[in-house]
């Protein structure tokens, strides 16, 4: 059924149709609308049986999900930003124990300075936590990926993070095709756990493992993610059969066939990039976009296959590995091992800075001429930085950096973008 | 005391002889049918109070739940000594997740059981004092506040023993630990700090809170049984001496637990919905020195010049407990 | 693709206005996208929301910097925020006020614009009359339907019903209809003037 609704609402509908049995709720922007939506459905009886638990922190949210999943319940929670960081210990624990929890991450920046707007710093910080990480390009895909996430996670006994851009997607109203419950039921079988806390058959879960087997346990975690590389395209194909649309998969190339320059990115910025690339194609540039849906496992071969005939690759990412540059870029470079391509990293959209078509055009026009710096910060305000560096030069006690810079910027409420 | 049907002095001890009780009044531990939930072969130290307490408590809970029990366990001695695979000592479904999240994990298990309609299966969470009063306190308070259907048992040995005897918020004043020396001029823990989680649990108005020691088996089993007969959030705080961390003889574990109670330093009581409903009276009041002297963690108080003032302050704490909870029997010494 | 930008203050339903507009367009078979300016909005603070309407899938995610239309829910913003920023020459302007452009002090700005594409409507007054509180968002959408022809009044009514129910919905629809008539009337006067 086609519906014009908020991204969060679309995701809540999808999650509800997956029949989660335990939902842990702790508020943090911008994921709140999702869990609130689910809460309403539990309250109204439309989502039953389901335990909706208001916990006291994100750490507890993930911990309750761990307990529930270990006791055989399909478990779900959502978080963002500081919330994800606050639960990190439990996030690693969930994957280490092999519990197929599904969690939405409404991607948001990490402080300090505190910032509620979108970028990918939060989930990128968890790239090695053992969870599968899928990134949605639009609200339809966000909806679809949640259905696929439960299927994939439960098949592999691995937790899955569905990452969707905070505000840009969670708070955007757009058209989504909300599937019928029967479609979801035929795609997603009932949860049959590999391990369960059951008095009829007592097991110990989470025992200490020493050097004699720890490497093997970790190896299997990796092997399962490698298995996911095969399952994800299969699941996407099955999804298409039942739901009639392309969603998910490992990567999504757009106009890459003969492209000399390919931009690699994740999430909602892919839309703006596609519009930009169309205009550049019209102007005669051979450019394309490669969207990465599955960031963990990282599809090295699929990425290499798309990029291998290009002359240059621009990785545009909403995250920054301080001290080296890109996070996604590092993985992409791994995929290109042995190939001689010009590689550029563009850090964009940090803390919600709008990524505009105009800026992308300017950046790509330099890229196609190989005039781009290898590490570029899109729309960086050099004046603002220089003013602060000058201030630091002037006196030792130059004061709090972010606050000084804000004073230089002036009132922001009066701006549109 | 509604829970100890007879007072009987065996030679030199206050233990009630099982042989003299009717079958149904005997302790779970005295029963050959006990589940031995924490089986032999684990790696706890000789004289470990926590191992004892856990077996007592879980066996009693197993009987109370007709063996329909799941336990979540915090990181700590209990988790480490009981599990190195494949030698798990647990005869019950058992999960260890993290140090600080045990109450929340138990909440999750209880939620799963409720949603699946398995009302007969009960959930216990357990941890040491570090995992309960410090790092797990947030999750514990959340579980209390929501009144989740979990019995949380804290085995309190008054410091982080697993990591080498560091101070916790349950470490008593003047007790020496590996991390108390840098704090203040004395080698022991400072006065005026620490928290009493049983009292804090009561402040949550949860259905049931109790304290117990491993010296009073009948009392401990009674309290577990009582807790298991209720639903909602319940908390039992069990005093478990640690020979290693306290610098005590391993054959003094029970004696120390008893002395903690008989001095008044550890008040044994139960409370429902925030109100104390019964206290275990002290039958023969003992000065705190008798308790302190058995432990090297207090040895600095008994050097060439005994720290009389410090000992007096500890005695004052015991006296305050006795007043506050009415621990002396009518006409008691 | 048409791009509409809505300016108002926190508490005036600025974000909901864009959402309802997008629903109205969707109900007419268009693709549409609505999103807020993502501030941590507080009551009274300047707020912006955006709506795009197109006959094909909308992929663009940037804020609307060159709108085809602007709706201003609070005229006190006129001298605080550059609400006209990037507005296309032939763009629609709808302002919630009982005053004239001249009286608002923007006569100069408006004089170069096409008369049939700008209008004022006393949305607060209409909302007070029909809804009982000065919530101008749905009312202005009625006016916008009349001014722009981009959406139909029935679509606005249907969108209002998706967001609200009962008396609130019906009151808002009545107010939006009144605004629609008001703007139609005013535009006819302009033509004859």
Q: Is 50 exceeded by the pLDDT of residue B1?
A: no
A274/C36 Cβ within 8 A: no
What's the rounded Cα separation, in Å, for the pair B184 and B166? Answer: 15
In a shared domain, residues A299 and A353: yes
In a shared domain, residues A324 and A235: no
CB pairs under 8 A between A and C: 88
pLDDT confidence of residue A411: 67
Q: Is 60 exceeded by the pLDDT of residue A413?
A: no
Closest chain B C-alpha to A63 CA, distance in angstroms: 5
The chain B residue lying nearest A61, using CA atoms, is B104
CATH number, domain containing residue C40: 3.40.920.10
A356/C65 Cβ within 8 A: yes
| A chain contacts of residue C151, beta-carbon cutoff 8 Å | none
pLDDT confidence of residue C40: 59
CATH number, domain containing residue A287: 3.40.50.920
**Count of CB atoms within 10 A of residue C165's CB?**
10
pLDDT confidence of residue A201: 96
What's the rounded Cα separation, in Å, for the pair B61 and B55? Answer: 10
Q: Is 90 exceeded by the pLDDT of residue B11?
A: no
Q: Which of the listed residues A243, A264, A297 is the one where a domain comes to its end?
A: A243
pLDDT band at A410 (very low <50, low <70, confident <90, very high): confident
Alpha helices in A244-348 (DSSP H): 269-282, 300-307, 328-335
In a shared domain, residues A290 and A367: yes
Q: Is 90 exceeded by the pLDDT of residue C9?
A: yes
The total domain count for chain A is 3
**Count of CB atoms within 10 A of residue A97's CB?**
20
In a shared domain, residues A134 and A12: yes
* pLDDT tens profile C132-152: 999 999 999 999 999 999 999
Whether residue A382 lies inside any domain: the answer is no
Cα dihedral value A290, A296, A301, A303, nearest 10: 10
How many residues are present in chain B?
333
pLDDT confidence of residue B99: 97
The total domain count for chain C is 1
Whether residue C170 lies inside any domain: the answer is yes
* pLDDT tens profile A78-111: 999 999 999 999 999 999 999 999 999 999 999 9
| Residue among A29, A269, A413 whose CB faces C61 most closely | A269
Put simply, whether B145 touches A (Cβ < 8 Å) is yes
Whether residue C108 lies inside any domain: the answer is no
Residues of chain C that touch chain A, judged by Cβ-Cβ distance less than 8 Å: 5, 15, 18-19, 22-23, 26-27, 31-40, 45-46, 48, 58-65, 80-82, 85-86
pLDDT confidence of residue C108: 81
More confident residue, A340 or C58: C58
| Residue among A2, A272, A413 whose CB faces C61 most closely | A272
Closest chain A C-alpha to B179 CA, distance in angstroms: 25
Instruction: Find which of A29, A109, A174, A276 to mutate to test the C interface (most C CBs within 10 Å of its CB).
Output: A174
* pLDDT tens profile B44-55: 999 999 999 999
Q: Is 60 exceeded by the pLDDT of residue A226?
A: yes
pLDDT confidence of residue B3: 46
Closest chain A C-alpha to B326 CA, distance in angstroms: 36
* Tokens coding A129: 């936590």
C32/A173 Cβ within 8 A: yes
- Taking Cα atoms as reference points, which of C1, B15, C70, B98 lies closest to residue A91? B98
In a shared domain, residues A25 and A114: yes
| Concatenated DSSP letters of A189-203 | PPP--SS---TTS--
pLDDT band at C37 (very low <50, low <70, confident <90, very high): confident
Domain B30-325 has CATH 3.40.50.740: no
Residues B137, B222: contact at Cβ < 8 Å?
no
The complex's ipTM works out to 0.95
pLDDT confidence of residue B15: 54
CATH number, domain containing residue A107: 3.40.50.970
pLDDT confidence of residue C38: 65
pLDDT band at A222 (very low <50, low <70, confident <90, very high): very high
Please state the pTM of the whole predicted model.
0.95
The chain C residue lying nearest A30, using CA atoms, is C38
**pLDDT above 90 covers what percent of chain B?**
81
Counting CB pairs under 8 A, whether chains B and C reach 3 or more, is no
| Residue among B73, B108, B141 whose CB faces A64 most closely | B108
| Residue among C22, C37, C65 whose CB faces A173 most closely | C22
| A chain contacts of residue C36, beta-carbon cutoff 8 Å | 167, 171
| Residue among A72, A207, A213 whose CB faces B88 most closely | A207
pLDDT band at B84 (very low <50, low <70, confident <90, very high): confident
* Tokens coding B192: 């005026």
pLDDT band at C41 (very low <50, low <70, confident <90, very high): low
**pLDDT above 70 covers what percent of chain C?**
97
Closest chain A C-alpha to C33 CA, distance in angstroms: 5
Whether residue C121 lies inside any domain: the answer is yes
In a shared domain, residues A205 and A148: yes
Q: Is 60 exceeded by the pLDDT of residue A29?
A: yes
More confident residue, B31 or B66: B66
Q: Is 50 exceeded by the pLDDT of residue B2?
A: no
Quote the strand ranges of chain B, DSSP E. Answer: 69-73, 94-96, 122-128, 151-156, 208-213, 234-239, 269-272, 275-279
| A chain contacts of residue C59, beta-carbon cutoff 8 Å | 138, 270-272, 274-275
Average pLDDT of A246-266? 97
Q: Which of the listed residues A243, A274, A292 is the one where a domain comes to its end?
A: A243
Residues of chain A that touch chain C, judged by Cβ-Cβ distance less than 8 Å: 2, 4, 6, 29, 116-118, 138, 167-168, 171-175, 268-272, 274-275, 352, 354-357, 413-414, 416-417
In a shared domain, residues A155 and A282: no
| Residue among C33, C40, C82 whose CB faces A173 most closely | C33
Closest chain A C-alpha to B245 CA, distance in angstroms: 22
In a shared domain, residues A173 and A81: yes
Pairing mode, strands A173-177 and C31-36: antiparallel
Range of the domain at A413: 388-417
Closest chain A C-alpha to B48 CA, distance in angstroms: 20
pLDDT confidence of residue A417: 54
CB pairs under 8 A between A and B: 160
Q: At A194, phi and psi to the nearest 5? A: -75, -25
Closest chain A C-alpha to B142 CA, distance in angstroms: 6
| A chain contacts of residue C39, beta-carbon cutoff 8 Å | 413
What is the average pLDDT value for chain A, to the nearest integer? 96
Q: Is 60 exceeded by the pLDDT of residue B247?
A: yes
| Residue among A51, A64, A72 whose CB faces B114 most closely | A51
Whether residue A248 lies inside any domain: the answer is no
pLDDT confidence of residue B87: 80
pLDDT band at A416 (very low <50, low <70, confident <90, very high): low
**pLDDT above 70 covers what percent of chain B?**
92
What is the average pLDDT value for chain C, to the nearest integer? 93
Whether residue A317 lies inside any domain: the answer is yes
| Chains in touch with B (≥3 Cβ pairs < 8 A) | A
Residues A281, A250: contact at Cβ < 8 Å?
no
**pLDDT above 70 covers what percent of chain A?**
98
Identify the bridge partners of residue A252 per DSSP, sorted by sequence position: A291
Q: Is 80 exceeded by the pLDDT of residue C192?
A: no
In a shared domain, residues A215 and A311: no
| Residue among A53, A90, A93 whose CB faces B107 most closely | A53
| Residue among B67, B110, B139 whose CB faces A63 most closely | B139
Cα dihedral value A302, A304, A310, A311, nearest 10: 160
Q: Is 70 exceeded by the pLDDT of residue C88?
A: yes
Average pLDDT of C111-129? 91
Whether residue C110 lies inside any domain: the answer is no
In a shared domain, residues A228 and A276: no
How many residues are present in chain C?
193
| C chain contacts of residue A172, beta-carbon cutoff 8 Å | 33-35
* pLDDT tens profile A189-202: 999 999 999 999 99
Range of the domain at C72: 2-96+116-192
Average pLDDT of C17-24? 98
Residues A64, A39: contact at Cβ < 8 Å?
no
Cα of A1 vs its chain's centroid, Å: 26
In a shared domain, residues A394 and A290: no
């Amino acid at each position: 059924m086609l519906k014009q609704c908020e991204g969060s609402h679309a995701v809540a509908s999808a999650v509800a149709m997956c029949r989660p049995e335990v939902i842990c709720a702790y508020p943090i922007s911008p994921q709140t609308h999702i869990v609130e939506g689910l809460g309403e459905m539990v309250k109204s009886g439309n989502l039953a049986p389901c335990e909706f638990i208001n916990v006291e922190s994100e750490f507890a949210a993930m911990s309750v999900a761990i307990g529930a999943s270990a006791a055989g319940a399909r478990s779900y929670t959502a978080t963002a930003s500081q919330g994800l960081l606050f639960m990190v210990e439990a996030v690693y624990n969930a994957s280490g124990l092999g519990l197929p929890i599904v969690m939405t991450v409404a991607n948001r920046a990490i402080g300090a300075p505190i910032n509620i707007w979108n970028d990918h710093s939060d989930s990128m910080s968890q790239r090695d936590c053992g969870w599968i990480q899928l990134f949605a390009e639009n609200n339809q895909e966000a909806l679809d990926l949640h259905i696929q996430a439960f299927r994939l996670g439960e098949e592999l006994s691995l937790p899955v993070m569905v990452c969707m851009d905070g505000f840009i997607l969670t708070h955007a109203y757009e058209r989504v095709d909300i599937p019928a419950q029967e479609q979801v039921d035929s795609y997603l079988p009932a949860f049959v756990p590999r391990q369960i806390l059951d008095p009829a058959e007592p097991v110990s879960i989470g025992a200490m493992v020493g050097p004699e087997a720890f490497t093997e346990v970790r190896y299997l975690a990796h092997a399962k993610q490698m298995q996911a590389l095969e399952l994800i395209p299969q699941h996407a194909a099955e999804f298409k059969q039942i739901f009639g649309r392309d969603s998910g998969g490992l990567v999504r190339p757009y106009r890459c066939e003969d492209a000399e320059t390919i931009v690699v990115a994740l999430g909602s910025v892919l839309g703006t990039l596609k519009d930009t690339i169309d205009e550049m194609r019209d102007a005669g540039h051979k450019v394309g976009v490669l969207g990465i849906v599955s960031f963990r496992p990282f599809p090295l071969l699929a990425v290499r296959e798309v990029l291998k005939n290009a002359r240059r690759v621009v990785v545009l990412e909403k995250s920054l590995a301080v001290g080296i540059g890109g996070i996604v870029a590092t993985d992409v470079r791994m995929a290109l091992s042995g190939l001689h391509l010009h590689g550029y990293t563009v850090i964009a959209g940090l803390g919600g800075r709008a990524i505009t078509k105009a800026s992308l055009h300017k950046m790509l026009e330099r890229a196609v001429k190989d005039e781009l710096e290898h590490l570029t910060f899109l729309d960086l305000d050099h004046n603002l930085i220089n003013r602060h560096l000058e201030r630091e030069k002037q006196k030792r006690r130059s004061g709090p950096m972010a606050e000084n810079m804000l004073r230089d910027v002036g009132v922001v409420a009066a701006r549109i973008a | 005391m509604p829970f100890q049907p007879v007072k009987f002095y065996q030679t030199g001890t206050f233990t009630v002889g099982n042989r003299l009780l009717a079958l149904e009044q005997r302790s779970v531990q005295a029963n050959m049918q006990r589940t031995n939930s924490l089986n032999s072969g684990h790696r706890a130290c000789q004289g470990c109070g926590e191992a004892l307490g856990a077996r007592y408590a879980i066996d009693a809970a197993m009987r109370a739940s007709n063996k329909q029990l799941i336990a979540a366990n915090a990181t700590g001695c209990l988790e480490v000594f009981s599990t190195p695979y494949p030698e798990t000592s647990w005869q019950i479904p058992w999960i260890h997740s993290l140090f600080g999240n045990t109450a929340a994990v138990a909440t999750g298990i209880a939620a799963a059981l409720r949603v699946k309609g398995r009302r007969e299966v009960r959930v216990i969470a357990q941890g040491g004092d570090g995992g309960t009063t410090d790092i797990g306190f947030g999750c514990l308070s959340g579980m209390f506040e929501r009144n989740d259907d979990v019995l949380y048992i804290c085995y309190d040995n008054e410091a982080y023993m697993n990591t080498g005897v560091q101070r916790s918020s349950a470490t008593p004043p003047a007790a020496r630990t590996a991390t108390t020396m840098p704090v203040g001029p004395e080698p022991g823990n400072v006065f005026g700090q620490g928290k009493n989680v049983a009292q804090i649990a009561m402040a949550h108005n949860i259905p049931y809170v109790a304290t117990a020691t491993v010296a009073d088996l009948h009392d401990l089993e009674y309290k577990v049984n009582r807790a298991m007969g209720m639903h909602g959030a319940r908390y039992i705080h069990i005093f478990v001496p640690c020979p290693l961390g306290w610098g005590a003889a391993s054959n003094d574990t029970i004696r120390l637990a008893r002395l903690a109670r008989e001095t008044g330093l550890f008040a044994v009581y139960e409370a429902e919905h925030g109100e104390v409903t019964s206290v275990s009276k002290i039958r023969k009041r003992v000065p705190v020195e008798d308790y302190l002297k058995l432990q090297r963690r207090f040895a600095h108080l008994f050097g060439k010049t005994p720290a009389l003032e410090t000992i007096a302050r500890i005695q004052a704490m015991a006296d305050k407990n006795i007043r506050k909870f009415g621990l002396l029997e009518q006409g008691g010494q | 693709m048409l791009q509409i930008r809505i300016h108002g203050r926190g508490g005036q339903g600025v974000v909901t206005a864009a959402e309802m507009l997008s629903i109205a367009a969707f109900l007419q078979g268009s693709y549409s996208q609505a999103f807020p300016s993502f501030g941590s909005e507080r009551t009274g603070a300047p707020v912006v929301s955006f709506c795009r309407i197109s006959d094909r899938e909308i992929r663009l995610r940037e804020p609307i910097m060159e709108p085809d239309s602007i709706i201003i829910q609070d005229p006190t913003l006129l001298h605080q925020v550059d609400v006209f920023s990037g507005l296309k020459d032939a763009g629609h302007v709808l302002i919630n006020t009982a005053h004239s452009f001249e009286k608002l002090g923007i006569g100069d700005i408006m004089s170069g614009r096409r008369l049939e594409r700008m209008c004022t409507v006393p949305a607060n007054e209409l909302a007070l009359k029909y809804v009982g509180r000065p919530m101008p968002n749905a009312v202005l959408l009625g006016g916008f339907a009349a001014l722009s022809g981009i959406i139909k009044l029935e679509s606005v009514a249907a969108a209002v019903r998706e967001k609200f129910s009962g008396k609130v919905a019906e009151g808002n629809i009545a107010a939006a209809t009144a605004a629609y008539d008001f703007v139609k009337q005013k535009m006819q006067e302009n033509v004859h003037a």
